[in-house]
Structure 1
Amino acid sequence: MDGISVWQLLIVAMIVVLLFGTDKLRNFGSDLGSSIRGFKKAMNDDVQQEELNDIGKNIIDDKLKKSFSEEIKDKDKV
Structure 2
Amino acid sequence: WHWLIVLVIVMLVFGTKKLRNVGQDLGGAVKGFKDGMKEAESSADAGKTEQLDGKTINAEAKEKVSNS
Deviation string for 1:1-52 (max 9, x for gaps)? xxxxx2x222111110011111100010010011011111111111110100
Larger of the two Rg values belongs to structure:
1
Greater relative contact order (Cα < 8 A, sep 6+): 2
Runs of at least 5 residues in structure 2 that lack an aligned partner in the other structure:
none
Q: How does 1:51-70 map to 2 (within 5 A)?
A: 51-62=45-56
Does residue 14 of structure 2 align to residue 27 of structure 1?
A: no
TM-score (norm 2): 0.72
Structure 1 residue runs without a partner (length 5+): 1-5, 73-78
Determine whether 1:50 maps to 2:35.
Answer: no
The alpha-carbon deviation at position 53 of structure 1 amounts to 0.9
- What is the distance in 2 between the residues matched to 1:11 and 1:61? 62
Q: Over aligned residue pairs, what C-alpha RMSD do you find?
A: 2.2
Question: Matched residue pairs, number?
Answer: 64
Q: Equivalent pairs: percent with the same residue?
A: 34
